[in-house]
Structure 1
Amino acid sequence: MSRTQNDKDKGFIAALITAFGDSDQPPTRTEIEAKAAMLAPILGFSGDLENVVAMAETVIPSRMSAGVSLVDPEADHDQEWILKREIEPIYADAYGDFLRAEGWKPTVVNTLLNDDGAKILGLLQDPIDEGAWNRRGLVIGHVQSGKTANYLGVVARAADAGYKFIIVIAGIHNNLRKQTQRRVDEGFVGRSSDPANRVPIGVGLDRDYPNPVTLTNIHMDFNKQTADKSGAELNDFKKPVIIVIKKNTKTLEVLHTWLRELNVKGADRIRDVPMLVIDDEADNASINTNKPEVNPTLTNAWIRKILRLFTKSCYVGYTATPFANIFIDPDAFDEEVYEELFPKDFIYSLDAPTTYFGPDKVFVDEDSSARVLRPITDCEDYLPLTHKNGTPVAELPPSLYRALDQFIVARAIRNLRKQERKHCSMLINISRFVSVQKEVKSFISLRLEKIKDAVKANYMMPEHVSAQNEYMAQLRAAFDSEFLDCGFEWNDVKEALWGVFEHLRTFVVNSKTTDDPLDYEKYEREGVGLTAVAIGGLSLSRGLTIEGLTVSYMYRNTRMYDTLMQMGRWFGYRPNYEDVCRVYLSKDSINWYKHIALAADELRHQIRRMRNVGLSPRDFGLYVQSHPDSLLVTAANKMRSGQKVTLKQNYTGKLIESFLLPLDPQISETNNDLIAKYWADRFGGAELRETEKGWFLPNVDCDKIGEFLAGFRSHKDAVRQKALAIDYLSAISDKFPKGDVLLVSNGPGDPGSYVLGAQERTAADATADKWQISGYRVASRGDEKLGLSVDQKKLAEQLAADDAKSKTKKPSDFHYRLVRKKPLLMVHVLEPTKNEQFRGLRVPAWGLSYPDGQYGTAIEVVANRVWIEQMYGSLDDDRDDDEDYDVE
């Protein structure tokens, strides 16, 4: 099928979406079908209506709320400057038209350009302002959620306003820089930067479009020779100049030299050229590494030197994992490189459209995560988490072959849904070593050949014949176990299997790849929907978009927030195939991802809360630096050699729980006796009230709560966490002398004997030494509302309804925490399940919830690597430099 037909499909879908652009409620499929049938003859569309209706159905319901900003309230800056100038939106309107033509819903485009884009531009400086100025900001998005689309909108608006020179820093690898250059060409430049094919594309298809100047192209990063060919200074260009560069010290140094030599002209700085730097993946190359060409100190220094060259500059970092950026010292200054990149002026948190397939759907929502997630339990026997360069691969784990079978069946289903021209990919990320990646490719290629031969011989055969072939039987098993609700019968899918192999290719994707790179655009030009199995390491872990990603298989051992979240290439948008997506991870990774997803939501909540009370980015920076999970980021930076580091810890608005438990019957008996003792005493004589799930004791002395916890016997690796929880309770005791206690019970229990009803929790992986609760969560959702008054519950409901970041508009435990306004101790008794060794054991656990708003209260922690590993488990043995590079 030609690409022309693909363009026609896009155009018709865009028209169909526009027809529902003003709808407050999402239309039904019947309404979309009726509208499509009406529009088709009017627009002369003769393509497949069923497929375009299915595509439109997944896009039309999407909506997108505007983001929220945290700004420095003391700064002398007028955010309304864009409303006070008459700015002709030439580039912004062209970009909006381009997005709508690509099938973006008008309401989402409006939010992206007129809400988020305009607000972020307002946070920058007016480029026509006199004098010298600089601003530093950070935009926090979601992995694979459209950050590039957002910053291209900001770039377009900035160009309209008068920014003359724009630098986009696009990660540390060539393939990511090339991908970003293509996006910039489509959305802003309007012309292909391929020297052999400089044709109008994207926004440039309008003949009157005023193409900006680009000094880089899809094949070549910035170099002095290319720039010098123009023979022009920045001020000589009548249109904006944009370059897309790799985050590499050599490239940055060459750029700095060219700018200084050609443009400074004997002065100390470049004047009257308003300059904007967009630093994509701004947290990358921010941790310690031994690689000199991307040494973070040098990278950071060269960016600061380039900014310093201009009297008028703005720096905006974009990231989905902001911990490393917030760890920048806001007061750091160097006589050679000047001010740091800390986002002193603003932090802007983006929302994601409702159709975003993100961490909530994959890891938090129980229904969708049960469909998507598959635990890897067998890989360690074949390729351990920790292995060396050159490790021989004797065979791949059965779970990987099952995932491959599911991918083939899923592609067949997508083809039946008329998505043959859409890309469909599988990601395999199990080693950072190129040598191992190549071996994995050999096994996968061999397996695919065998499956292909089996399908060729059997896809048209009767079932009783094809079922005799082992590979066909495995494909049938994949269908039966995963895709019975896909809308097709097995015989339909079986007949579609042969078409899967027509454009199926296997790629090794890493920083060393030169032959046969994964190039989706090449196949698009040929009108082909590529079916790709992509095998790699870091290049699959950060920034690079894997088109049509359907099945992911990742077995890696990092626990660092930024690295792990960026490895989540499966996040994004999955129109009409979200139901066939699968993600394979180790159980540890699944639990940690759940934890990170909740922690990320906490940070976004805090940005809004801190804005409401007039705090600044500096205050947010201090909060994040003292966030308990910041220890892991610090560990990456400072604890590799085992030295001790003194840190602040702040538990404001957080729930700390004993998710690591001992399975020693004697310890459990001791803790059950402790619960009975304090229950009988009513924690010092407090009133006892029955709730729908146990008993509630209001206004207990916090000293009594601390005393109870001090007597509670913990797992040996959780003793320090309990001590910190008690220390923080003591630190806020002047403001909060009283707290509440919940004795959480599953069923009636036996209050006469002071026995709580046990709550079941899976212990499938537990050992006699340790039981780690799934998801690092002991309490069930909604437990924190127990004991609240009717008015408090109504207030929590109102807070949730007013919360722009809440998708369900139903109160979360965070909202209940806000209205309680005092510490809360929750006491549980858990019963291990799915493990006969511990059947019937009653294991006490606790959780301590702290009120929000205590940003200035922190406790000191002296930590080293051993301390971190006791608190969080083993750190990534690969170390930072190994995580950040593909190794030959």
Structure 2
Amino acid sequence: MSMTAVTQERNISNALISGLANMPETPTREQVEEKAKQIAVIFGYEGDLRNIVAEAMESVVTRMGAGVSLVDFDAKHDDQWVHKREDVDWTYARAYEEFLRNEGWPPQMVQSLSDVTTRILGHLQDPLSEGTSWNRRGLVIGHVQSGKTANYTGLIARAADAGYKFIVVIAGIHNNLRRQTQQRIDEAFIGRSSDPEDRRNIGVGLTLGYPHPATLTNINGDFNKNTAAKSGWKINDFSKPIILIIKKNVTTLTALHKWLKALNAGGGDRISDVPMLLIDDEADNASINTNKEDLDPTKTNAMIRRILGLFAKSCYVGYTATPFANIFINPDAYDDDVREELFPRDFIYCLDAPTTYFGAEKVFLNEETSDSIVRPIDDCENFIPYSHKRDDSIHELPPSLYRALDEFIVARAIRNLRGQAGKHCSMMVNVSRFVPVQRAVRDFLSLREKKIREAVLANYAMPEDVSSRNIYMQGLKQAFDDEYADAGSTWAEVKSALHDVFEHFHLFVINSKSDEVLDYTRYEKEGVGLTAVAVGGLSLSRGLTIEGLTISYMYRNTKMYDTLMQMGRWFGYRPGFEDLCRVHLSRDSINWYSHIAGAAEELVQQVKRMRRDRLSPKDFGFYVRSHPDSLLITAVNKMRSGKKETVEQSFSGRLRESYIVSTDSEVNARNFSLITDHWKNGFGGQPQELTEKGFVFKDVPVQVIEDFLIQFECHSTFAGQKSDVVSYLERIAAKRPWADVLLISPSGGAGGDAPFTLRNQVRVVGKDQPAGTSWRLNKDRVASRGDEKLGLSDPQREKAKVLAGGKDGLGAVSDTHYREVREKPLLMIHSLEPKGDSVAGPIAAFGISFPFGDYLTTINVVVNKVWLKQMQGYVDDPDDEEDYDA
């Protein structure tokens, strides 16, 4: 496709989307197709309209909520200052919005981004405000790959319009990520390419008379004295804002500090009349407990503090997708003044994900969509084990990885058939932290791709009885049958489209030691849709945007929240091909990701609740520190000495379930008899009510629940967690004396023939079960999603809907929202029927869900190395990553 055709398509698409945005009601597909034809005639375009129509349909349903902020209500800050200042001409903000519309953003999304960035700006200080000095500290929590960069670019544009003069963006710890961020800001804010060889106007700068901000960094060079001198700008020429995009490392930050200090040598100890904004992208990034000198979190954050300290007027805004970031948690990583200084004491803002976002909810939490996306890897350990070494030789790749490559090739063919040949399509492979192993994986995949290419060339036009004899064609057909038979194309169509898949097919190794650059823009300029297989480690997984990511294959096992969530490159926007995306992960990772996704969802809900209760970021910080999962982040550091630690924990708004159950038949017989006894006496004499999936007893005295749990026999590895649950129930009993009990008994389940016995719920038994008499449930979940709505009234369910999606009811309603409206503890009791030979059933299990609002109530939990080992399993230590930038 030529560049002119691409531009023409873009123009028609923009015209169509703008036209649809003005329609009073959501248009039907037919109306959109009709309007597209009319516009195509005006433009004299005779090409394929399918993509244009698909994009327009997507834009019609894309909405984004306003998000929610937590502020310090006692602070004397007027967050309406933005609306009160009538002198602001929003030049940069308007140019940025126009730029996004030209990029194909739906108008509603541009509008909501504008509203949200205006609200965040309100949380900053008015740069023209009186007073000799001020500083503000905040945090914005987004979703991985959901457009955080777009958000802070919008914030920068508005801040510059309002009068912020010196802006620093700290973009991760890798060169390729800093470069990518510089490119984006060049286009969207500076309006000029910062490539010293090619200083032309681009993006927003194509408008006549655009007031280009100055930049002291460029796409090739991070900040140092020379790039600053060469840029030709003087810091005291503040007719325009100055922006720097730098890496988070000690050397760069020190150079910037030194340069600023020297510039201000004559002006006392602080730069007094220059309001500055510092954006810390991936605020959790250099918080890894790393031993690499230049990335030491204490030192990097101390330098950030010093730079802020040079300015009498400063704002610091951290952006993160992992709110368990160590700025809340890791007390050992910083001394007190560092932690105090960068803590977001003034505001925490949670961004909503747009409705079309392909995120953790779809991939891990929603059972229906999750089953169609996630594929467990069970065969990698014999080929590239978790705990391999740098110089281990790789003799062959696991069959599941070759299978994923087959899926990728078929998915690309289907995307081409859908008219997406001009769009990028990528596959990510992340199985090792070591550069030599990454290269070996690439070589094997390259060899395989060559053989498939030859097979396709010889067979794509052959009759099926001939082509089906070829082993590589069989693999592709198998992938089609298993994964994509319902994707809207026949095998015959896909087979004939396979030939074109290889036209721009490239394999890359992406790490800080490789000189290969995954440069999608280069291909875009030529109007080419790149088909890329990217093999890498941490630098591939952290922050780098992989365009059109369709197939992901990751066999890594870290329990460090921030590292793991950041590895989730598979989140993002997948217009027109979401149904083709597949994510291959080990069962351990699937369990752990699902757990984290649930925890992150609970945290956002917690922010909303805390705002309602007029609590401050400080209280949220306390809650996060006492969150059960925060232990896993701090424990690694703390337990090197091997001593026990006592930590405070809060279960506010959380679900705790017996996800490790005993398979001992005598234990289960005793548990079922305990259930029957309590059921017979109505859990302390309460009436039984019918629900869609069993029975509910409402307003049971909490003591009855405690007695039941104390007598319920857990597997020894879960016993400690059970006693924590009982302790917490006791702590909140004075405030919450009543609880509900759900006996989950689905109508179609086997069993339940005798009176007062439950019908079973079938659960698959995953591979690699622990030895002995225990069964660890899939995704560490016992209840099905949605169980917590059972027994709620219609008005309560309606209220949960509103909580999930605001007035429009756009969000997916989850158990967290149902938990919010129940406002009392809920005990759920299950009878599980294991599917698989290894375990005999039925098996008794329970879960208890705690209401929100008890954030500051905690219990003491004692943990030690044994506990840590149990919780962590394998440790995939980021310290061992080879592809940190040197």
Matches within 5 A, 1:36-47: 36-47=36-47
Cα 1:774–1:884 change in 2 (3 A) is farther
Q: Take 2:811 and 2:472, find their aligned partners in 1: how far apart are those partners?
A: 47
Are residues 1:97 and 2:98 paired?
A: yes
Q: Aligned partner of 1:756: which letter?
A: L
In structure 1, the residue matched to 2:826 is 824
Cα 1:132–1:345 change in 2 (3 A) is same
Cα 1:695–1:337 change in 2 (3 A) is closer
Q: Take 1:744 and 1:716, find their aligned partners in 2: how far apart are those partners?
A: 24
In structure 2, the residue matched to 1:664 is 664
Which moves more between the two structures, 90-99 or 739-748?
A: 739-748
Other structure's SS at 1:444 match: helix
In structure 2, the residue matched to 1:392 is 393
Which moves more between the two structures, 415-424 or 371-380?
A: 415-424
Q: Aligned partner of 1:771: which letter?
A: W
Cα 1:339–1:620 change in 2 (3 A) is closer
RMSD (CA atoms): 2.3
In structure 2, the residue matched to 1:6 is 6
Cα-to-partner distance string for 1:339-391 (whole Å, 9 max, x where unaligned): 52111000011112111111111122233222211111111111111211111
Cα-to-partner distance string for 1:214-240 (whole Å, 9 max, x where unaligned): 111111111111213457542223111
Contact 2:216 2:243 in 1 (8 A): yes
Contact 2:330 2:633 in 1 (8 A): no
In structure 2, the residue matched to 1:877 is 875
Are residues 1:517 and 2:517 paired?
A: yes
Contact 1:626 1:650 in 2 (8 A): yes
Matches within 5 A, 1:136-155: 136-155=137-156
In structure 2, the residue matched to 1:158 is 159
How much has 1:738 moved relative to structure 2?
A: 2.9
How much has 1:500 moved relative to structure 2?
A: 1.4
How much has 1:715 moved relative to structure 2?
A: 1.2
Other structure's SS at 1:647 match: strand
Q: Take 1:491 and 1:481, find their aligned partners in 2: how far apart are those partners?
A: 15
Are residues 1:783 and 2:787 paired?
A: yes
Matches within 5 A, 1:640-679: 640-679=640-679
Cα 1:577–1:143 change in 2 (3 A) is same
Which moves more between the two structures, 17-26 or 419-428?
A: 17-26
Contact 2:804 2:817 in 1 (8 A): no
Q: Aligned partner of 1:206: which letter?
A: T
TM-score (norm 1): 0.95
Q: Take 1:883 and 1:636, find their aligned partners in 2: how far apart are those partners?
A: 17
Contact 2:701 2:738 in 1 (8 A): yes
Are residues 1:482 and 2:480 paired?
A: no
Q: Aligned partner of 2:169: which letter?
A: V
Contact 1:328 1:340 in 2 (8 A): no
Other structure's SS at 2:573 match: coil
Contact 1:234 1:263 in 2 (8 A): no
Other structure's SS at 2:469 match: coil
In structure 2, the residue matched to 1:438 is 439
In structure 2, the residue matched to 1:303 is 304
Cα 1:630–1:22 change in 2 (3 A) is farther
Cα 1:52–1:207 change in 2 (3 A) is same
Cα-to-partner distance string for 1:660-708 (whole Å, 9 max, x where unaligned): 1111112212222222333344444444445443343333332232122
In structure 2, the residue matched to 1:712 is 712
Contact 2:432 2:556 in 1 (8 A): yes
Other structure's SS at 1:276 match: strand
How much has 1:197 moved relative to structure 2?
A: 1.1
Contact 1:636 1:880 in 2 (8 A): no
How much has 1:335 moved relative to structure 2?
A: 10
In structure 1, the residue matched to 2:731 is 731
Q: Take 1:312 and 1:228, find their aligned partners in 2: how far apart are those partners?
A: 25
Cα 1:293–1:658 change in 2 (3 A) is same
Contact 2:32 2:53 in 1 (8 A): yes
Which moves more between the two structures, 211-220 or 804-813?
A: 804-813
Q: Take 1:231 and 1:104, find their aligned partners in 2: how far apart are those partners?
A: 34
Which moves more between the two structures, 501-510 or 413-422?
A: 413-422
Q: Aligned partner of 1:112: which letter?
A: L
TM-score (norm 2): 0.95
Contact 1:305 1:337 in 2 (8 A): no
Q: Take 2:356 and 2:694, find their aligned partners in 1: how far apart are those partners?
A: 38
In structure 1, the residue matched to 2:240 is 239
Other structure's SS at 1:474 match: helix
Contact 1:433 1:887 in 2 (8 A): no
Which moves more between the two structures, 877-886 or 495-504?
A: 877-886
Cα-to-partner distance string for 1:35-67 (whole Å, 9 max, x where unaligned): 011112223434432332233222332111111
How much has 1:436 moved relative to structure 2?
A: 0.5
Cα 1:28–1:305 change in 2 (3 A) is same
Q: Take 1:50 and 1:861, find their aligned partners in 2: how far apart are those partners?
A: 58
Other structure's SS at 2:357 match: coil
Are residues 1:771 and 2:772 paired?
A: no
Q: Take 1:803 and 1:677, find their aligned partners in 2: how far apart are those partners?
A: 38
Other structure's SS at 1:717 match: helix
In structure 2, the residue matched to 1:403 is 404
How much has 1:737 moved relative to structure 2?
A: 2.7
Which moves more between the two structures, 762-771 or 299-308?
A: 762-771
Q: Take 1:542 and 1:332, find their aligned partners in 2: how far apart are those partners?
A: 21
Q: Take 1:416 and 1:346, find their aligned partners in 2: how far apart are those partners?
A: 48
How much has 1:109 moved relative to structure 2?
A: 0.2
In structure 2, the residue matched to 1:577 is 577
Identity %: 58
Which moves more between the two structures, 556-565 or 799-808?
A: 799-808
Other structure's SS at 2:342 match: coil
Contact 2:143 2:353 in 1 (8 A): yes
In structure 2, the residue matched to 1:759 is 761
Cα 1:884–1:771 change in 2 (3 A) is farther
In structure 2, the residue matched to 1:190 is 191
Contact 2:441 2:535 in 1 (8 A): yes
Contact 1:302 1:337 in 2 (8 A): no
In structure 2, the residue matched to 1:118 is 118
Q: Aligned partner of 2:777: which letter?
A: I
Cα-to-partner distance string for 1:804-828 (whole Å, 9 max, x where unaligned): 3696567543343334332222222
How much has 1:330 moved relative to structure 2?
A: 10
Matches within 5 A, 1:808-823: 812-823=814-825
In structure 1, the residue matched to 2:449 is 448
In structure 2, the residue matched to 1:600 is 600
In structure 2, the residue matched to 1:262 is 263
Q: Aligned partner of 1:881: which letter?
A: D
Q: Aligned partner of 1:700: which letter?
A: V
Contact 2:766 2:777 in 1 (8 A): no
Contact 1:429 1:553 in 2 (8 A): yes
Which moves more between the two structures, 631-640 or 103-112?
A: 631-640
Q: Aligned partner of 1:533: which letter?
A: V
Other structure's SS at 1:234 match: coil
Q: Aligned partner of 1:43: which letter?
A: F
In structure 1, the residue matched to 2:530 is 530
Are residues 1:347 and 2:348 paired?
A: yes
Structure 2 runs not aligned, ≥5 long: none
Cα 1:801–1:784 change in 2 (3 A) is same
Cα 1:884–1:135 change in 2 (3 A) is farther
Q: Aligned partner of 2:510: which letter?
A: V
Cα-to-partner distance string for 1:578-601 (whole Å, 9 max, x where unaligned): 121111111221222222222211
- Number of aligned residue pairs: give it: 879
Contact 2:652 2:850 in 1 (8 A): yes
How much has 1:186 moved relative to structure 2?
A: 0.7
Cα-to-partner distance string for 1:526-546 (whole Å, 9 max, x where unaligned): 332211110000012110000
Cα 1:743–1:230 change in 2 (3 A) is closer
Q: Aligned partner of 1:28: which letter?
A: T
In structure 2, the residue matched to 1:551 is 551
Q: Take 1:241 and 1:799, find their aligned partners in 2: how far apart are those partners?
A: 46
Q: Take 1:885 and 1:639, find their aligned partners in 2: how far apart are those partners?
A: 27
Q: Take 1:188 and 1:619, find their aligned partners in 2: how far apart are those partners?
A: 36
Are residues 1:134 and 2:132 paired?
A: no
Q: Take 1:173 and 1:681, find their aligned partners in 2: how far apart are those partners?
A: 63
How much has 1:106 moved relative to structure 2?
A: 0.7
Matches within 5 A, 1:16-31: 16-23=16-23, 25-31=25-31
In structure 2, the residue matched to 1:623 is 623
Cα-to-partner distance string for 1:279-333 (whole Å, 9 max, x where unaligned): 1111111132100011111111111110011000000011110112452589999
